[in-house]
């Protein structure tokens, strides 16, 4: 019976060692499962963060594109306004030159008018003198 007891004792020790190894492996598997789950969650979070960042990048690219288009539009509009201002200044200068010429002509016309009025007044005086002389001559 000692032999059987010894075999039984060996079998029991072997069973206990196997049981401990099994429990240790079970704990390691549980730890690895937790790490795998954590890695999956981290991977999902990273994928979500990546997607959000890519969306933000696309949005920023679109905003940059729109800003560039607005800049081009404003540059074009500024150039158009500058051209219009140049044309209006040229027109203003032409009108001012024309106005100066008209003012000179007006001054000449006024001078002729004054000269004509003086001549008319002189002629009217002469006519009055002649009329008076004629009336005196009839008497």
7/14 Cα distance (integer angstroms): 10
pLDDT over 80 (residue 27)? yes
Query: pLDDT class for 15, splitting at 50, 70, 90?
Result: confident
pLDDT over 90 (residue 26)? yes
76/3 Cα distance (integer angstroms): 106
Q: Which structure tokens are listed for 126? A: 């002469």
Helix, strand, coil: what percent of the chain each, to 5?
A: 100, 0, 0
pLDDT over 70 (residue 88)? yes
pTM of this prediction?
0.48
**Dihedral through CA 84, CA 90, CA 91, CA 95, nearest 10?**
160
């Amino acid at each position: 019976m000692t032999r059987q007891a010894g075999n039984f004792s060996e079998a029991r020790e072997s069973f206990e060692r196997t049981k401990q190894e099994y429990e240790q492996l079970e704990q390691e598997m549980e730890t690895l499962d937790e790490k795998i789950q954590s890695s999956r969650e981290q991977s999902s979070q990273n994928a979500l963060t990546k997607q959000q960042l890519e969306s933000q990048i696309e949005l920023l690219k679109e905003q940059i594109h729109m800003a560039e288009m607005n800049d081009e539009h404003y540059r074009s509009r500024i150039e158009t306004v500058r051209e219009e201002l140049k044309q209006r200044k040229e027109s203003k200068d032409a009108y001012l030159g024309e106005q100066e010429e008209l003012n000179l002509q007006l001054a000449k016309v006024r001078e002729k008018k004054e000269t004509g009025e003086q001549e008319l007044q002189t002629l009217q005086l002469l006519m009055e003198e002649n009329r008076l002389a004629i009336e005196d001559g009839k008497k």
